[in-house]
Structure 1
Amino acid sequence: MSERNDDDPVQTSTEQMKEIMAEEVGKAIEGSLSGFIDKIQNTVLSLVEERVKRLEDSVNLIKEKSGECKGCSYKEFMACKPPIYNREVDPIICQRWISDVEGVFERTHCDVGDFVAYGMGQLRGQAKDWWDNKKKEIGAEAARVMTWDEFKVPFLKHHSPKAVINRIKEEFIQLRQKGESIDKITGIFMDKLRFCDELVTTEEQNIYYYYNMLSAEYREFMTPSNYETLTEIINTAREREIELKKQVERGERRAHDVNPSPTKKARTTEEGKKVEAKGGSPSCKVCGKGHKGECSFKDKPCPICGKTGHTASLCPGKVSVCYKCYQPDHKKSECPELVGKRDTKESSTETPKAKARSFQLTAAETKTEPNVVSGIFSINSIPARVLFDTGANKSFISHGFI
């Protein structure tokens, strides 16, 4: 067996190459790792700087907004042209004014403590007189520190009284389209609707009351159960109005047939009754009107109960509403409140009227009485003297002497 030769030049060269390669690979790895770490550090730093900048911008923006929310001057408030209120009693305009003024408060970022001072600057006429009297009643200091919510309580109590609101509710129930355009009658309907929260509680009831308000030219082409929102039936009524106007322009319908006046409608009803009395078409069991042929309402569901075979006016499930207390199942003439008052009035005794009395004086008494003033006139061509007692407020007539 031959011994290993350490002086072998080939073996020595191989080992040196391995050492050189290992050293170079180590240097390369070290250089790459260092660059990779530097790259990561630079990326992280840039992200952190960007996030810090965004946070600073957000803080500055919040500071700017908070500075605006501290309040506005009266000049800035007036620049938004807040509405003026100069009426004494009108619930619709009163509550609309409050809503509009509160909108200006919000847009101008008005300070809460300035609501009353700025708002009262928009009162005129009788409304201004009411506020001046109110300040005298509660005192200047109490008026100065009064909040907007505290102000609205007496303001609404005076300018939007319950009695007037009850009248608006009654007008809402009886509201009918009498020649007005759809936009106009819809505006009246919406103004009165805001005071009928306890009467109209669902969207279905909104639709029914609106449908019942429309004239026959609109109702005959509409079915309340087909609509889910009040906006839908209003838009349908507008479309129907456009179609009616086109029919007038084409000569297919006379202009006064669209939204006829109540007088014409009553006259038409009376003429229909006369025709029926003379042997015309009998009254339909579905709609209650006299006509020939099949009734167009036969297959249309009733807006109250949803069944077919009758209209809303003839619905057996129709609930009458009292116009006094707005409770169902009785009429205004049968309202317990009115019946109680009527019984009280009937039970009270009437004050007896004073009977007429006449007095007579002789000629000698008239001359001696200091409070009697006399005058002469004729009764049926007979001279007579009128005597008036200034002390007792009595008058006398003495005949037969002058």
Structure 2
Amino acid sequence: MSDGNDDNPVRTSTEQMEEIIAEEVGKAIEGSLSGFIDKIQSTVLSLVEERVKRLEDSVNLMKDKTGERKGCSYKEFMACNPPIYNGEVDPIICQRWLSDVEGVFERTYCDVGDFVAYGTGQLRNQAKDWWDNKKKEMGAEAARVMTWEEFKVPFLKHHSPKAVINRIKEEFIQLRQKGESIDKITGIFMDKLRFCDELVTTEEQKIYYYYNMLSTEYREFMTPSKYETLTEIINVAREREIELKKQVERGERRAQDVNPSPIKKARTGESGKKVDAKGGSPSCKVCGKGHKGECRFKDKPCPVCGKTGHTASLCPGKVSVCYKCYQPGHKKSECPDFVGKRDTKESPIETPKAKARSFQLTTAEAKTEPDVVSGDVGTNRKMIELAFEEPNMIYKLPQCFKL
């Protein structure tokens, strides 16, 4: 029988143990509750943000389809690094700039009304000067409401004139590979092709012009009718270029045969100017004439100074004779008699020209005349020619004929 007092030691210890466990559990829950709440909060926020972003993307997509979206800011436009135009009067550079800027408009969802304001902000130097003058002509209000298509009309007229485009078309027709690599000449070809839409209308014509532009070492291994697209013949030309370089490395072909340098060709042309027209031989330093082999005047003495190594026409010791007073040492323009008369403003008296005279001799008369030279005809003729070629020289020659 129990007397109502709870003096059982086992029960007392169990109750105490439960109280202690409950207290410890409460402390543990209380300590981790704040961290648990923060974790739940961050998870919920991230889910909410993701959901909001999806909703915004859906809304923007719907606006793009309906055309209700309002473009981008200038900061967003500049973040795409739009190209700068300096005002080159070059259709290739000009139209490439327009294409690049319009690509930035598209990527940034730029509003159509901001095209002119954003695009003209990339003009520099001569291009900016042109736009400033154009705005003055139009007026500020007209420039503000101008559309991009309206802007391109005067812009292209000034920076891409028809005369320059016609010149590009002529260059396209006459384009030939002269030492350029395949990639470089292909780039030039494609740049000029953009302005030849009226001239080149089919893929077959593109292939023909590209094939005709290549140098011989490429064309001799290619048949244009085999290719259906321009890309195919370009790739074949690149493969041929690699093969030609391998042939050079193996010693099967000279390096100058593969894409010879245009600079070397130009230098060859300049050096060719020094070549004499007769036979294509360079001018001799001894006689001054163009010939091949050893100069026949090399070891012959000069008739003026008696030294070898030059002819009479190139002799440094030759003496000039005045045609006025017939004295050596000066020219007619330096003659004292001529200068004195010119200073006194007297009309110079010209020396009458001697009339030509000829003599006809018989064989018997020629033998008895002491002034007649006889002998080899070729030798006497050479002496006469030498006398007439160098009228300013003094030669000790025998008398050739009697005056």
* Distance of aligned partners of 1:398 and 1:151 in 2 relative to their CA distance in 1, 3 Å threshold: farther
**What letter is aligned with 1:155?**
F
Residue aligning to 1:147:
147
What residue in structure 2 maps to residue 125 of structure 1?
Answer: 125
Matching residue of 1:221: 221
Structure 1 residues 62 and 216, CA gap change in structure 2 (3 angstroms) = same
In the alignment, what sits opposite 1:137?
A: 137
Amino acid at match of 1:162: K
> Could you say which residue in structure 1 is the equivalent of 2:340?
381
1:150-196 CA distance string (max 9 Å, x none): 00000000000000000000000000000100000000000000000
Matched with 1:194 is 194
SS in 1 for 2:179: coil
Regions of 4+ moved over 2 Å: 56-62, 64-69, 259-265, 379-385
SS of structure 1 residue aligned to 2:72: coil
- One-letter identity of the residue aligned with 1:78: M
Question: Radius of gyration: which is bigger?
Answer: 2
Q: Indicate the RMSD between aligned Cα atoms, in angstroms.
A: 2.9
Match of 2:158 in 1: 158
**Structure 1 residues 46-195: aligned runs within 5 Å:** 61-65=57-61, 69-195=69-195
Distance in 2, Cα, partners of 1:167 & 1:90: 11
Q: Which runs of 5+ in 1 are unaligned?
A: 1-55, 268-378, 386-396
Output the CA distance in 2 between the equivalents of 1:398 and 1:124: 69
What is the one-letter code of the residue matched to 1:114? D
Q: Which amino acid aligns with 1:381?
A: G
CA distance in 2, matches of 1:97, 1:398: 74
Separation (CA, whole Å) in 2 of partners of 1:134 and 1:66: 39
Mark the CA change 1:132 to 1:161 in structure 2 (over 3 Å): closer, same or farther: same
Q: Deviations over 1:73-92 (max 9, x none)?
A: 11111110000000330000
Structure 2 match to 1:20: none
| Offset at residue 381 of structure 1 (A) | 3.4
How big is the shift at 1:252?
1.3
Q: Partner residue of 2:206?
A: 206
In 1, distance between residues paired with 2:102 and 2:130? Answer: 20
Q: How far apart in 1 are the matches of 2:55 and 2:261?
A: 66
User: For residues 251 and 60 of structure 1, do their structure 2 counterparts lie closer, same or farther at Cα, with a shift above 3 Å needed?
Assistant: same
Structure 1 residues 60, 236: closer, same or farther in 2, change over 3 A?
A: same
**Judging changes above 3 Å, is the alpha-carbon distance between structure 1 residues 66 and 254 closer, same or farther for their aligned structure 2 residues?**
same
Distance in 2 of aligned mates of 1:66 and 1:112: 18
Partner of 2:311: none
Matches of 2:342 and 2:233, distance apart in 1: 82
Q: Structure 1 398/195 Cα, relative in aligned 2: closer, same or farther at 3 Å? A: farther
How far apart are residue 64 of structure 1 and its match?
3.0
* Cα-to-partner distance string for 1:337-360 (whole Å, 9 max, x where unaligned): xxxxxxxxxxxxxxxxxxxxxxxx
Alpha-carbon distance between aligned partners in 2 of 1:168 and 1:95, rounded to the nearest angstrom:
14
Kindly provide the amino acid, as one letter, of the partner of residue 207 in structure 1.
Answer: I
Q: Structure 1-normalised TM-score?
A: 0.51
Structure 2, unmatched stretches of 5+, are 1-51, 269-337, 348-403
Which residue number corresponds to residue 361 of structure 2?
none
- CA shift for structure 1 position 253: 1.1
Higher share of residues assigned strand: 1
Alpha-carbon offset, residue 248 of structure 1 = 1.1
Matched pairs, number: 223
Per the alignment, in what secondary structure is the counterpart of residue 93 of structure 1?
helix
Using a 3 Å threshold, how does the CA distance of structure 1 residues 57 and 259 change in structure 2: closer, same or farther? closer
In 1, the alpha carbon distance for the partners of 2:193 and 2:175 equals 11
Give CA-to-partner distance per residue, 1:230-281, whole Å, 9 cap, x none.
Answer: 000000001111111111111111111112357869x9xxxxxxxxxxxxxx
Shift of 1:380: 3.4
State, as a whole percentage, how many aligned pairs show the same letter.
Answer: 82
Aligned-partner Cα distance in 1 for 2:203–2:60: 44
Distance 1:57 1:122 in 2: 33
What is the rounded CA distance, in whole Å, between the counterparts of 1:92 and 1:141 in structure 2? Answer: 31
Task: State the AA in 2 paired with 1:380.
Answer: V
1:255 is aligned to 2:255? yes
Deviations 1:188-218 (A, max 9, x none): 0000000001111110000000000000111
Distance 2:261 2:107 in 1: 45
Q: Match of 2:300?
A: none
Deviation at residue 384 of structure 1 after TM alignment = 6.4
Q: In the alignment, which residue of structure 1 is the partner of 2:30?
A: none
What is the TM-score of this pair, normalised by structure 2? 0.51
Is the partner of 1:380 in helix, strand or coil? helix
Other structure's SS at 2:82 match: coil
Distance (Å, rounded) in 1 between the aligned partners of 2:341 and 2:132: 66
